[in-house]
Amino acid sequence: MCLLLGATGVGKTLLVKRLQEVSSRDGKGDLGEPPPTRPTVGTNLTDIVAQRKITIRELGGCMGPIWSSYYGNCRSLLFMMDASDPTQLSASCVQLLGLLSSEQLAEASVLILFNKIDLPCYMAMEEMKSLIRLPDIIACAKQNITTAEISAREGTGLAEVLAWLQATHRVNG
């Protein structure tokens, strides 16, 4: 099981829909206009077939207070932030630190996604990363952490996300 977490509106549902599209067409062809999404109230289970079946469980941002009830059986964690909105950085960072310090997630592999890189932003990506001291967070965490800059809207970086999921779930879904 792969958990997909992050604040509301960062783009988790769109990412899952895009990953389904990309995996089903083997990376070929244009993605086209993004399908509409609604805020996820509750949880959203999606199977992605990338060599093997990987189940992704998105938890709506509004479910933040009870995310921890879903940590069991989590092999990998996708944590998404909105790269176009630096005002959310500190709140997302607190959420991320909470996840990384959880005993139940100590063995999980973590991919931190900076989404919406298609949008203009007044702060450079490197500035945002250093503002939350991301290199220190990665160095101190028990988990194996990777980062990626993506656009679920345009499809940028989605092949990387799929490859990471495949590598992480190579043995036993």
Ligand X SMILES: Nc1nc2c(ncn2[C@@H]2O[C@H](COP(=O)(O)OP(=O)(O)OP(=O)(O)O)[C@@H](O)[C@H]2O)c(=O)[nH]1
Least distance to Mg ion from the beta carbon of 126, Å?
28
DSSP for residue 103: G
- Interface pick for ligand X out of 67, 76, 153, 169 (rule CB under 6 A): 153
Cβ closest to ligand X, residue 12 vs residue 129: 12
Q: What tokens were used for 49?
A: 């077939």
Residue pair 64/92 in contact by the 8 Å Cβ criterion: no
44 assigned ligand-binding residue: no
**Cβ-based neighbours of 80, under 8 Å, separated by 6 or more:** 4, 5, 6, 10, 11, 12, 15, 112, 113, 115
Q: Does 10 bind ligand X (CB under 6 A)?
A: yes
60 assigned ligand-binding residue: no
Q: Please tell me the distance from the alpha carbon of residue 125 to that of residue 138, in angstroms, as a whole number.
A: 16
Residue pair 14/37 in contact by the 8 Å Cβ criterion: yes
- Interface pick for Mg ion out of 2, 10, 13, 96 (rule CB under 5 A): 13
The contact mask relative to Mg ion for 22-61 (x = CB under 5 A, - = no) is: ------------------x---------------------
Q: Which residue is nearest to ligand X (CB)?
A: 11
The contact mask relative to Mg ion for 123-162 (x = CB under 5 A, - = no) is: ----------------------------------------
DSSP for residue 172: -
Cβ closest to Mg ion, residue 79 vs residue 134: 79
Residue pair 1/75 in contact by the 8 Å Cβ criterion: yes
- Interface pick for ligand X out of 23, 76, 109, 115 (rule CB under 6 A): 115
Reported residue count of the chain is 173
What is the distance in angstroms between the CA of the first residue and the CA of the last residue of the chain? 7
Annotated binding site for GTP: 6-13, 61, 115-118
- Which residues of the chain form contacts with ligand X (CB under 6 A)? 6, 8-14, 34, 37, 39-40, 60-61, 115-116, 118-119, 151-153
